[in-house]
Amino acid sequence: MAKQGQTTDQGTTDQGLERLTSAAAQAGSSGKALPPVHLWNPPFCGDIDMRIAADGSWYYMGTPIGRPALVRLFSTILKREDGRYVLVTPVEKVGIRVDDVPFMAVELRKEADAQGVRLHFRTNVDDWVSCDAEHGLRFEPGDSGGLTPYLHVRADLWAKVTRALYYELVDMGEERMVDGEVMFGVESAGAFFPMAKAEEVRAAL
């Protein structure tokens, strides 16, 4: 049974969540254009019990938020400032927990344009990000070995690239000289993103 002030419908919600949802929707974040969160600096109202897990799933009070439209709505008002993640509207700002990074890159499309190969990634909240010099890839050592790729989505927000897409990136990788060293990496939109030293990649094959 839900506690007073709470309802249960796929994901758990309460009055604070409803207020935040309403404020986000009124700010116009339900449309295609992202709201101008970089222009908003309302008072910080403390943390709420909301968490983004390492697999990109959103939780409120320990319960998964099962409505994709609601997750999408919250993702549009997410920003990172002073080392913490916050949901921000024109009238309030609340802190949330993020286990790793807030998004997952779950689909990859490859196309050719005037700059050569361009990679497009779809995130788990249905944003498409074109990988280029401003929205680059970085590769971090994985907890269980190997590398974990991350894609820059916007501002200080990143998406972790799924393991399946990582293997696709490896398949299309090539060797190039970077700062006097031969590196293995992938190109998109004229930019080259090194994964590792080429000799290390050869040794691992």
pLDDT tens digits, one per residue of 144-195: 778 999 999 999 999 999 999 999 999 999 999 999 999 999 999 999 999 9
Answer yes or no: are the C-beta atoms of 29 and 76 closer than 8 Å. Answer: yes
CATH 3.30.9.10 assigned to 103-204: no
The rounded mean pLDDT for the chain is 88
Query: 53-90 burial by CB neighbour count: b if 16+ within 10 A, else e?
Result: eeebebbbbeeebeeeebbbbbbbbbbebeeebbbbbb
Q: Is the pLDDT of residue 122 over 60?
A: yes
Confidence of residue 116 (pLDDT cuts 50, 70, 90): confident
166, 170, 174, 180: CA torsion to nearest 10: 70
Choice between 170 and 202, residue whose per-residue pLDDT is larger: 170
Residue 202 pLDDT level (bands cut at 50, 70, 90): confident
Please report, rounded to a whole number, the percentage of residues in the chain having pLDDT higher than 70: 89
Q: Which CATH superfamily is domain 6-28+39-98 in?
A: duf1285 like domain (3.10.540.10)
Q: What is the mean pLDDT of residues 64-78?
A: 94
Ordered by start, the domain boundaries in the chain are 6-28+39-98, 103-204
**Residue bearing the bigger pLDDT, 78 or 32:** 78
pLDDT for res 18: 82
pLDDT computed for residue 183 by the predictor: 96
10-49 pLDDT per residue, tens: 333 467 778 888 877 877 544 567 889 989 999 999 999 9
